[in-house]
Structure 1
Amino acid sequence: MVVLGSTMNIWYINPYAGGPGVGRYWRSFYLANAWQAQGHDVEIITPGYHHLMDDDSGKAGGQVLEGVSYNFVPAPKYKGNGLGRFLSMLCFGFFLFFFLLRLGLKKRPDLVLYSSAHPFGYPAAYLCAKLFRSKILFEVRDIWPLSLVEIAGFNKFHPVVLVLSLIERFAYYSADAVISLLPGAKQHMVSRGMKPGKFRYVPNGFSLNDINASVESQGASLLDDLMGFKSQGDFLFFYAGALGEPNAMHLFLDALHFFEIPEGVSVKFIIVGKGEQSAELNARCRKLGYDFVLFYPQVDKAEIQQALRVVDVGFFVMHDLPIYRFGVSLNKLYDYMAAGIPVIASYNAFNDPIKEAGCGMSVVPGQPEQLAHTFQEMLLLDGTVLREMGAKGRLFLEANFEYTSLARRILEN
């Protein structure tokens, strides 16, 4: 479909794009950076505001951030996960067409990639791709509207679900290729109208250059505390990510009811992030006397990477939901593995990267006693075993998930 060796002008449209000074999900930035290194021109197009941005004040206009061009589409601000967010999605889809039209009149795209954190903007991306005689790819991070039905509890006959179903089918049918972050999604997509040959599995990944870079931290509080904890002999479990209902961190607190700290061992659980459940989770810990669980606000990616060099084990938990039968592709997991630390997880999905890599321990959700036991088991492992476990994760990533190779895979015929 695409001649890999040719120089192209690529538009990467992502409703929740992150990057340096933008937000925590950096896939768009890393892929753009890799494509530019391969000789292509890349424009990232994203709303001027979304809830995953580092700064709630939002962005406007065009900016070049560490060599990557960002274009911010006007979008209303919102709070929470209600009507305001839905209206912001609709506004993005509406204004996107006119924004792309102006952008394309300056320099037409050769390839348009629409990343479906939500698909409302895909029709606009498709129309502009046809106007400018460009190829179009549809990238699927979350399967909409199935995620709304199986996670958010929407009725499958809800008007929003029906509209999204039409967009989903149209996207699978009309795109030149469908990029899936989920390894088990092909059958579902084919059942919705995609030709089997269009499917490409390209998961989240990590940037080797970014991990190896030495970066000055802009906020010392978290790192100073971590260094202090280590100097006094604490074993540090670490979570970095969102703190909302989909992240299931209340299930982690359920497990702490069964968690017993072995005699002579000092432990801390470090939670870094923001979300609508942050205050509730913190208050619950204080009420239950979990003084070994500490919460920190979201920090930039550079500081997270430095923190991961200090802590002992990364962890995360997930709900046991049918939607995960298509697989998972978690940034936080790859961050832990890239740092060379072991991982504890509670999840049940089509794929199990932790088991494949041999870099940690995973348990089935809904078993708080087993999760607590797993934390205790990891505590008692020899330091050499922990380092070997973490090293396996890093090697697994380098072999399968480096963004330079993932970027090439997206553009392959």
Structure 2
Amino acid sequence: MNILLINHYAGSPQYGMEYRPYYLAREWVKMGHNITIVGADFSHLRIKQPTAGEEYIDGIRYVWLSTPAYQGNGVGRIKNMLSFLWKLYRQEKQVIGEHKPDVVIASSTYPLDIYPAHFMAKKYKAKLVFEVHDIWPLTPMEIGHMSKWHPFIMVMQMAENYMCRHVDKLISILPKAEEHYLEHGLAKGKFVHIPNGIVIDKNSHGGGGNLPAAYIELFTALRSKKHFILGYVGGMAKSNALMALLEAAVKVQDLPVDIVLAGDGAERAGLVTKAKKYGLEQVHFLSAVGKSLVPKVLANMDALYIGWQDTALYQYGVSANKIFDYLLAQKPVLWAGNTGNNPVKEANAGLAVPSSNPEDIAAGIRQMAGTEKVLLNQWGTNGCTYVKANHNYRNLAEKFINAISG
């Protein structure tokens, strides 16, 4: 089968997030399928940007479309989106290449890529699949507090409705999103839940390497203090409730606990400023590292944090990549937030507090830091067993193929 996967923010181990397209495609290649991933040559999620043009990575054909760079979530990012969408039409022959698609998958987080995807699917008589990462435009409405009458939101809503009417299958990483899409015109039987996952083989992250000197220096210093280390590794966005984590840190300064935040993102500068303002000497910031080094970073933590803003958006469930990396690392997890699903509870892999307000997070930190090591280790083991059984990308890739083949 020839599969064209459109993902504006697609990445790979050497380029950085998003990793899901790469891991699914790598398994599909092993199964004998021809895969083309088309993405923009600039994304705020990556640690390294590719060069516009065509390249092959582990048997996957990538086509990178030239787009303008941007910072933040303003006009520059919208220009980047529009440039990518326009290039999909204008460079269609380059995108398609030698293999006419049997399936076209639109998977760019925002729903506007459904238009060029539908155009190509119709032209080549291919199946049309839409993959949901976040529910748009509900996500910018809930997280960014944008009005449903904002022109940007109205355009996104039109695209979501268009997708629901024309798609052959809707693949969602969110387990409880079906009702939302049925309300917007999706036909019964077209919704399939396929969560994010992990790759278990030793070479899954494209090699090893050593941690940067700043990492080694910090972890050596923290271990010498014999403090409990609570870590967060991943993108720093508003949705991750990291501001609430810093406010919780103010409330636990009496504890021998250090908090390490590793990564980059739109919220990082504000978090650093806030930590300085509060005099949080026990909070430390490290820059992002490549996927290959994430297991080594996690290995230096005693427990890991993941938080969610308190918003109705998360009633549809969550499936953040970082939680599966956390569980695979055999580390207990502190989960803060009210969500439609909770892998930490399902796996019995740590503690879950009911919201992401600072009081609840602080209570969770106190409980986690005071938990006996035997139980912490058991939570870590439970999580690893759970994620291997339920989130192996090899199995998820097969489930995906079965869903779009039927």
TM-score bin (small chain) = over 0.9
Aligned match of 2:236: 243
C-alpha separation in 1, matches of 2:100 and 2:169: 20
1:380 has 2:370 as partner: yes
The within-5 A match list for 1:12-411 is: 12-55=5-48, 59-210=51-202, 215-217=208-210, 219-262=212-255, 266-411=256-401
C-alpha separation in 2, matches of 1:176 and 1:223: 49
SS of equivalent to 1:206: coil
SS of equivalent to 2:62: strand
> Contact between 1:269 and 1:292, CA under 8 Å: does it hold in 2?
yes
Q: Which amino acid in structure 1 is aligned with residue 345 of structure 2?
A: K
> Contact between 1:239 and 1:314, CA under 8 Å: does it hold in 2?
yes
C-alpha separation in 1, matches of 2:12 and 2:246: 31
Change (3 A) 1:404 1:91: same
Query: Could you report, residue by residue, the CA deviation over 1:9-32 in whole angstroms, capped at 9, with x for unpaired residues?
Result: 211111111212222321011001
Query: Could you report, residue by residue, the CA deviation over 1:14-64 in whole angstroms, capped at 9, with x for unpaired residues?
Result: 111121222232101100111111111211111011111113x55311222
C-alpha separation in 2, matches of 1:65 and 1:345: 35
Q: Which amino acid in structure 1 is aligned with residue 209 of structure 2?
A: E
Q: Unpaired segments of 5 or more residues in structure 2?
A: none
C-alpha separation in 1, matches of 2:116 and 2:382: 43
SS of equivalent to 1:71: strand
C-alpha separation in 2, matches of 1:227 and 1:172: 52
Aligned match of 1:4: none
> Contact between 1:316 and 1:345, CA under 8 Å: does it hold in 2?
yes
C-alpha separation in 1, matches of 2:47 and 2:286: 14
> Contact between 1:10 and 1:40, CA under 8 Å: does it hold in 2?
yes
C-alpha separation in 1, matches of 2:216 and 2:20: 25
C-alpha separation in 2, matches of 1:256 and 1:218: 26
Query: Could you report, residue by residue, the CA deviation over 1:262-283 in whole angstroms, capped at 9, with x for unpaired residues?
Result: 4xxx432111111232122112
Query: Could you report, residue by residue, the CA deviation over 1:309-357 in whole angstroms, capped at 9, with x for unpaired residues?
Result: 2211110222101111111111111110011100002111111111111
Q: Which amino acid in structure 2 is aligned with residue 337 of structure 1?
A: L
Q: Which amino acid in structure 1 is aligned with residue 149 of structure 2?
A: F
SS of equivalent to 1:257: helix
Change (3 A) 1:11 1:97: same
C-alpha separation in 2, matches of 1:231 and 1:13: 48
SS of equivalent to 1:196: coil
- Displacement of 1:227: 4.3
SS of equivalent to 2:61: strand
SS of equivalent to 1:270: strand
Q: Which amino acid in structure 2 is aligned with residue 233 of structure 1?
A: K
Q: Which amino acid in structure 2 is aligned with residue 75 of structure 1?
A: T
Q: Which amino acid in structure 1 is aligned with residue 134 of structure 2?
A: D
Query: Could you report, residue by residue, the CA deviation over 1:148-195 in whole angstroms, capped at 9, with x for unpaired residues?
Result: 222222221222222222211121221110001111100110111111
SS of equivalent to 1:236: strand
Q: Unpaired segments of 5 or more residues in structure 1?
A: 1-7
> Contact between 1:227 and 1:310, CA under 8 Å: does it hold in 2?
no
C-alpha separation in 1, matches of 2:127 and 2:389: 30
Q: Which amino acid in structure 2 is aligned with residue 225 of structure 1?
A: L
- Displacement of 1:147: 1.4
SS of equivalent to 1:80: coil
Q: CA RMSD in A?
A: 1.8
Query: Could you report, residue by residue, the CA deviation over 1:51-99 in whole angstroms, capped at 9, with x for unpaired residues?
Result: 11113x5531122234433210111111111011112111111111233
SS of equivalent to 1:395: helix
> Contact between 1:234 and 1:268, CA under 8 Å: does it hold in 2?
yes
* More moved, 350-359 vs 210-219: 210-219
SS of equivalent to 2:148: coil
C-alpha separation in 2, matches of 1:261 and 1:44: 50
Q: Which amino acid in structure 1 is aligned with residue 219 of structure 2?
A: L
Aligned match of 1:5: none
Counting aligned pairs with the same residue, the percent is 32
Change (3 A) 1:231 1:100: farther
> Contact between 1:354 and 1:360, CA under 8 Å: does it hold in 2?
yes
SS of equivalent to 1:142: coil
> Contact between 1:46 and 1:71, CA under 8 Å: does it hold in 2?
yes
